A = this chain, B = another copy of it.
């Protein structure tokens, strides 16, 4: 599990709230050196990276400045890995991923659709896989959800079962405790009609729930006859919404084998992550309170770096990698 090179050189690609969190965590890790930063935001280009991260640079060496030209940063910094956090949709970010691969860099990305891209975007997945292999690098999409609580953790838990009849996944998040950007993303404050209009665009609400189900299906050998998704507003105390309730159901031969429910709303009842496997043996795992996404997404990204560096190359998923261990405090 020891990293291949010390320090691991990393470039941060995308410095929004999540990207900045990833950057701060990477900066704290002795084994990682941030050697470049990419973001095209006019308020960011040209600024010293650690100013944007609002943290102290680890040493007196010159710190990277944020630049807009990804290819140029990659060519000069030649990082081992790019920590990528620019978007949820694979079609939007694929050119950036190709640029990373062609620049010879491995990628760990927050892109939700990259977590298991083989079903929604088979052509793009094949192309990215080929590009990565041609350049001897590995691309991975991960995070807390998708990437961990509703897929990797469920697949890992399924290892205790002789046979799995069905899986029910539940993630309840009280977004009252989370950043305002996430609240807007899940429809807090939206009138119902507006929520439904946005939902109809297919680019609204939590992204990646089907990806989690496809990842589980791939691991367990399931081929769904049908995989349906619903996205409903959660009623607030006034005329505007309190958030979203999203459900994906997968069936084989008329039997529901997977049900995944994500509720993200203000004052959601009993926030938790729960995995219930009906099988031999049956098993129910609960994390009361749920895993805190704002802190945990950077963790999963940074903790996945050693697995990605050790991977032989291509488009990987969490199914291909060893457990993404965290770092123990020694003082």
Binding site for B on A (CB under 8 A): 1, 25, 28, 144, 148-149, 152-153, 155-165, 217-223, 252-253, 257, 279-281, 283-289, 291-292, 295-296, 298-300, 302-304, 318-331
Decide: A299 near B1, CB < 8 A? Known: A221-B327, A284-B288, A286-B286.
no
Residues of B near A257 (CB, < 8 A) are 328-329
B324–A322 touching, CB < 8 Å: no
A129 to chain B, nearest CB (A): 15
Q: Are B283 and A220 in contact (CB under 8 A)?
A: no
25 A-B contact pairs sorted by A residue (CB < 8 Å): A148-B160, A149-B160, A155-B325, A159-B304, A160-B300, A161-B299, A162-B327, A163-B327, A163-B329, A164-B329, A165-B329, A219-B325, A220-B327, A223-B330, A253-B331, A279-B329, A281-B291, A281-B295, A283-B291, A285-B285, A285-B286, A286-B287, A321-B322, A322-B322, A323-B323
Q: In the docked arrangement, what's the CA distance between A149 and B283, Å?
A: 12
**Which chain B residue lies CB-closest to A290?**
B283
A8 and B299 alpha carbons, distance in the complex (Å): 37
Q: How far is the CA of A144 from the CA of B159 in the complex (A)?
A: 9
> Copies per complex?
2
Of residues A161, A298, A325, which shows the largest number of chain B Cβ atoms within 10 Å of its Cβ? A325
A3 to B: closest C-beta gap in Å: 11
Contact at A323–B162, with CB atoms within 8 Å? no
Q: Which residues on B sit within 8 Å (CB–CB) of A165?
A: 329
- Could you say which of B28, B148, B158, B295 contacts A159, with CB atoms under 8 Å apart? B148
- State how many angstroms separate the Cβ of A298 from the closest Cβ of chain B: 7
Residues of B within 8 A of A223 (CB): 330
| Contacting residues, chain B, for A328 (C-beta < 8 A) | 163-164, 217, 220-222, 257
- Cβ of A325: which chain B residues have Cβ within 8 Å of it? 155, 158-159, 219-220, 319
Q: Is the CB of A326 within 8 A of B144?
A: no
Instruction: State the Cβ distance, A327 to closest chain B Cβ, in Å.
Output: 6
A contact face: mostly helix, strand, loop, or mixed: mixed
Among A1, A288, A321, A326, residue most surrounded by chain B Cβ atoms (within 10 Å):
A326
Tell me, in angstroms, the Cα distance from A296 to B144 when the chains sit together.
26
Whole-angstrom CA separation of A322 from B325 in the bound complex: 12
Q: Do A287 and B287 have beta carbons less than 8 Å apart? A: no
Q: Which residue of B has the minimal Cβ distance to A152?
A: B323
Residues of B within 8 A of A281 (CB): 291-292, 295-296
Residue of B nearest to A325 (CB): B219
Complex alpha-carbon distance, A119 and B317, angstroms: 32
A160 partner residues in chain B, CB cutoff 8 A: 144, 148-149, 291, 296, 299-300, 326
Q: Contacts of A219 on B, CB cut-off 8 Å?
A: 1, 323, 325
Residues of B within 8 A of A331 (CB): 252-253
**Pairs of residues from A and B, 7 with the lowest C-beta to C-beta distance, nearest first:** A220-B328, A159-B324, A219-B325, A158-B326, A161-B326, A281-B292, A160-B296
